[in-house]
Amino acid sequence: MTSILFVLSNIFNILLCRIAQAQPLLAFDSQTILWPNSRDNLELTTGFVKGRQDELALQMSVRTRPTTVFRPRSLDALHHARLRSLHNQESEMVEWDELIVSGPDVEDRHTLSQLARMSGNAYVLPGQKNWYEVDAAWNVSFPFGWEDESDGFRGHVFFSSDNSTIVLAIKGTTLNGPTSKKDKFNDNLLFSCCCARVDISWVFRTVCDCYVHGWRCDDPCLSDALIQDSLFYSVGVRLVDDLRLMHPSSNIWLVGHSLGGALASLLGSTYGFPAVAFESPGERLAAHRLHLPLPPVQKSTVPPVPVTHVYHSGDPIPQGTCTGFGSPCAQVGFALETHCHLGKSIVFDTVGKLGWRVDVRKHIIRDVITKILEIDGVEWEEGRDVPLARAEEDCVDCFKWEFGHFKDDSGEDSPYQG
């Protein structure tokens, strides 16, 4: 197990031309020191040059661990197989390579806290309210997606001092702001059972026209609705492709909160990159509707993707319980109905251990950081200050809905057969 200190690299000045032309907000000089730590591992530390090499108080490290990932042998073949399945409902074999890479140590509470802070910082620019202080070397931000105020896909990219590891932090949903409309569109398209139709009396405008009648929903229509440039997943694919092109030998991690975490998971599953998602709705159904080729299931019923979800029992959104016409989510136009997650999930029992009530107001990243990950003295499980990550086996979303081919080729409802 090793530790990495993250800084932001000046090379990002020329990165992501298709998404945004990012500029550094501050400039800094750095120095690198390499030494064995107490457990005979190597720790890479980088700090600001202040005239004294031993001034290391500004530094903070993130623990890593060997992580097994499955990556497509050919990304072109993967994208071709996905589009063939999406457009023609035809399957195509994708070959996968099993690799061991350096990923985040999700059993380390400090590491999770730092990644959660980076996820929180994806919502704002440095110096703005709600920017979370991490290491001083991280207080220089290279943002993406901020030039167009209405562009919802945005966040920050962090580099390790030697560019060996890159962390892409993706913004989640903003309730009131210039990105809110696109955020809500993506939430309702990805995490609702049928076009954000909460029940048969749903009065809000749905995001697609796939509802048929009763509890029936047209599956091909749902897949077609996901072929849109405004879908954040498609934007994220182009962004990750840019990162891979410019840093072919770097480890890439993805993190995010809520919608941002789900996108991090979907992109991590696509490329075989480690991802950590905080308080995210279930994205397993979205992966199915996006026709993402995933590594074959082995011992578990869940595909072996390098994704870790982190959420707590007091938040109804990742549990898929903020649903129904009278729910707080529906009252503001959200249909967040899915609860099945890819990868494995770390669930902090804040209801049982801290006495919290289930409340959608506990969804915010601030509570995850300051009231869960950074409090001491709580034994979340026997002998553990971080619960064990577990796969959500045999999980079923939208069980009362029936999905199938219920519309004819013209898009009209097929005759009802009972």
Considering only residues 40 and 284, tell me which one the structure prediction assigns the higher pLDDT.
284
19-28, 232-241, 284-293: the lowest-pLDDT one: 19-28
Instruction: Give the up-direction half-sphere exposure of residue 268: CA atoms within 13 A in the CB hemisphere.
Output: 37
**pLDDT tens profile 320-357:** 999 887 889 988 889 899 999 999 999 999 999 999 99
Considering only residues 64 and 141, tell me which one the structure prediction assigns the higher pLDDT.
64
Mean per-residue pLDDT for 91-100?
Answer: 92
| Percent of the chain at pLDDT exceeding 90 | 48
pLDDT of residue 41: 34
pLDDT of residue 215: 86
The amino acid present at 279, given as its one-letter code, is E
Q: Would strands 251-257 and 165-170 be described as parallel, antiparallel, or unpaired?
A: parallel
pLDDT of residue 42: 30
Q: Hey, what are 335's tokens?
A: 């249909």
Q: Would strands 155-160 and 344-348 be described as parallel, antiparallel, or unpaired?
A: unpaired
Q: How does residue 368 score in pLDDT terms, banded at 50, 70 and 90?
A: very high
Q: For residue 13, is pLDDT > 90?
A: no
Closest C-alpha among 238, 244, 223, 239 to residue 290: 223
Q: How does residue 231 score in pLDDT terms, banded at 50, 70 and 90?
A: confident
pLDDT of residue 336: 93
**pLDDT tens profile 103-128:** 999 999 999 999 999 999 999 988 88
Which residues are identified as catalytic? 258
**pLDDT tens profile 127-174:** 888 889 876 554 455 889 988 777 779 999 988 777 778 899 999 999
